[in-house]
Amino acid sequence: MLVVQKYGGTSVGTLERIHACAKRCLDTSRQGHGLVVVVSAMSGETNRLISLSNRLISQVHGDQTTQSDEGKGPYVVSGRVGHRPHQRELDQLVSTGEKVSASLLAIAIQELGGKAISLVGHQLGMMTDGSFTNARITTIDRERLHRELDAGHIVVCAGFQGLDREGNITTLGRGGSDTSAVALAAALQADACEILTDVDGVYTTDPRIEPRAQKLPHLTYEEMIELSSLGAKVLQIRSVEIAMKHRVPVHVRSSLHTGEGTWIVSEQPQQSGRAINLQTPIVRGVALDRNEAKITVTNVADIPGSIATIFGKLANDGVVVDMIIQNASRNGSTDVTFTVPEQDLDRSIEGLQALDLISSTSELISDRAICKISIVGVGMRTHAGVAAKAFELLGRDNINIQMVSTSEIKVSVVVHERYGELAVRALHEGFGLHQSAGEQQAAS
C-alpha cells in the first residue's frame, strides 16, 4: 500500500512536534506501507517571511506603506501588488520555509533509525504554471519519487512549491501544501492521502468559533469544495478539486493521535461494502470568510454595457469578484454592489477610478468591515425554505444582512464583521448542527 501523509504547520511547529511526526512516519512505514510525506513550513514561518519582505519594502520607501501579512490568497507586497519581479522573489523567499521543515523531518527519521530523503519542489518534479504566489500544478515527474521509494526511503517532500517552465520557483497559494499532497497522491495513485492537522477532522464549523461543533465522519467532495471556497481553511480548495477529479480518498485527521477523522468521498461511496447515505442532513456545515471587502458604485448609467465595463475592468486586473447585487433603476441610473478579496480592494478601487463610466456623479464606496457566512449541504437541493430559515435565525439575533447569494448547495450572506462569529453560532445551532448525528436523527 502507498500512503501520502501531509503534516501541517502546527504539526511541525516545534522540534518536539517534528520528533513526534518522525515517529508516526516510521510507524506507518513499519506497517509495510510505502510512504510519501508532505510538510508545511513550521507554524508562523510563512507569515514571518512575508512580513520580512514587507518590512524591507516599507523601509526602502520610508515607512509610508502598511499592509497585512496574513491572508489566504496571493501575497500582498506593499505598494506594488501584482508586480512580477517582486512576486518571483517572494516565492523564492517563502518556499524556504518548507525546505527547512522537510530536511528537519528527514533528519529526525534518520536519527530514529529509518531511511528518509527530503526533496524540494523542483527535485521531485513538481511542475507548475508561472503564476507566482498562486501557481497551479501542471505535471509531476514521478521518476525520482519512484526511484526513492524503490530504494526503501520515506520520501519527505517540501509542500507548497514547484517549478515553472523557465526554471523559477513558484508557490501554490496559502495552504498550498494540502494541494501538493493530494496532487502527489493522484500522480502516484496512492491508496490514501492523509491530511494530518491540528484538528481531529472537518467539523460542522470551525471549532475555534463554536466549541459545540461536531466532527463529520464524511463529506462529499462537492461539499468540501464549497466549505473550502467559503472560508473553511482546513483544506485548500484546489486540493479538494484535484481529489475530486482523480477520485483520491482524502482522510483529514489529527496529527496527535490515530483516531479516525473525516473522509472526503464521492457522493455514493462503497466503503466497507456498504453505501453511506450522505443526503440526510440538509445543512452539513457553516463557514466564515473574513477576507472579503465590499464595493458600491453609485449612480451607474442604466444602459447596456455599463455592468460589463465595470466587471470587465476588474477581470482584466485579475480581481475575482464574488457576490454581485444591482439595485432597481431610478431615473436612469442604478447602484451596483459587489465583493472582492480584501487584499484586492485598493487596486480594485484604483482600477475603477480610471474608468470614464465612473462619472463625476458616481461614487465609489468601499467597506472592509464585512464578512461572509455560508451554510452548505447537498441536502439543500431537495429542500425548500433553507434560505428563509437562515434569514429568520439571523433576524432573531438582530443581525442585519447586507447581501445574499445562493447556489444549489449553499446560502451565503454578508454581514458586518462584528457579527460574524455570532452569526456562525446562530446558524449552527438553528440548523441543529451542535447535536450529534444520533440526536439529529431522533429530533427529525
Interacting residues with Mg ion (CB under 5 A):
8, 175
d(Cα 54, Cα 70) in Å, to the nearest integer? 11
- Which burial class, exposed, middle or buried, applies to 192 when counting CB atoms under 10 A from its CB (0-12, 13-18, 19+)? middle
Encoded one letter per residue, x for contact with ligand ASP by CB under 6 A and - for no contact, window 112-141 reads ------------------------------
Residue 40 makes contact with ligand ASP by CB under 6 A: yes
CB half-sphere exposure, 168, CA atoms < 13 A: 20
Residues 58-97 that bind ligand ASP (CB under 6 A): 97
Residue 232 makes contact with ligand ADP by CB under 6 A: yes
Residues 6+ apart with CB under 8 A from 303: none
Residue 413 makes contact with ligand ADP by CB under 6 A: no
Residue 177 makes contact with ligand ASP by CB under 6 A: yes
d(Cα 114, Cα 133) in Å, to the nearest integer? 34
Stretch that binds ligand ADP, among 53-61, 136-144, 201-209, 435-443 (CB under 6 A): 201-209
Residue 208 makes contact with ligand ADP by CB under 6 A: yes
Residue 348 makes contact with ligand ASP by CB under 6 A: no
Q: How many CB atoms lie within 10 A of CB 31?
A: 10
d(Cα 250, Cα 239) in Å, to the nearest integer? 10
Phi-psi region of 297 (alpha: psi -120 to 50; beta: other; left: phi over 0): beta
Q: Which set of grid coordinates corresponds to residue 404?
A: 445574499
User: What residue spans of 65-188 are helical by DSSP H?
Assistant: 84-94, 96-111, 143-150, 177-187
d(Cα 108, Cα 105) in Å, to the nearest integer? 5
Among 21, 76, 234, 264, the residue binding ligand ADP under the rule CB under 6 A is: 234
Residue 8 makes contact with ligand ADP by CB under 6 A: yes
Stretch that binds ligand ADP, among 97-105, 130-138, 160-168, 203-211 (CB under 6 A): 203-211
Residue 389 makes contact with ligand ASP by CB under 6 A: no
Encoded one letter per residue, x for contact with ligand ADP by CB under 6 A and - for no contact, window 277-306 reads --------x---------------------
Stretch that binds ligand ASP, among 40-48, 219-227, 271-279, 346-354 (CB under 6 A): 40-48
Residues 45-64 that bind ligand ASP (CB under 6 A): 46
Q: Which set of grid coordinates corresponds to residue 383?
A: 429542500
Residues 27-66 that bind ligand ADP (CB under 6 A): 40
Secondary structure element (H or E) that encloses residue 77, with its range? none
Q: Considering the complex, what minimum distance in angstroms separates the CB of residue 60 from ligand ADP? A: 31
The smaller minimum CB distance to Mg ion, of residues 239 and 374, is found at 239
Among 132, 160, 338, 419, the residue binding ligand ASP under the rule CB under 6 A is: 160
Residue 159 makes contact with ligand ADP by CB under 6 A: no
d(Cα 89, Cα 77) in Å, to the nearest integer? 11
Q: Which set of grid coordinates corresponds to residue 283?
A: 445543512
Residues 6+ apart with CB under 8 A from 164: 127, 128, 129, 130, 135, 170
Query: If DSSP codes are grouped into helix, strand and coil, which group holds residue 387?
Result: helix
With CB under 5 to 8 Å by kind, the binding choice for 41 among Mg ion, ligand ASP, ligand ADP, none is ligand ASP
Among 175, 261, 285, 420, the residue binding ligand ASP under the rule CB under 6 A is: 175
Q: Considering the complex, what minimum distance in angstroms separates the CB of residue 170 from ligand ASP? A: 13
With CB under 5 to 8 Å by kind, the binding choice for 159 among Mg ion, ligand ASP, ligand ADP, none is ligand ASP
Stretch that binds ligand ADP, among 96-104, 165-173, 181-189, 228-236 (CB under 6 A): 228-236
Task: Tell me the helix, strand and coil percentages in the chain, rounded to 5.
Answer: 35, 25, 40
Residue 170 makes contact with ligand ASP by CB under 6 A: no
β-pairing, 410-416 vs 370-376, is antiparallel
Handedness of CA 214, 215, 219, 222 (dihedral sign): positive
Residue 233 makes contact with ligand ADP by CB under 6 A: yes
d(Cα 410, Cα 314) in Å, to the nearest integer? 25
Interface contacts to ligand ADP, rule CB under 6 A: 8-11, 40, 175, 197-199, 202-203, 205-206, 208, 232-234, 285
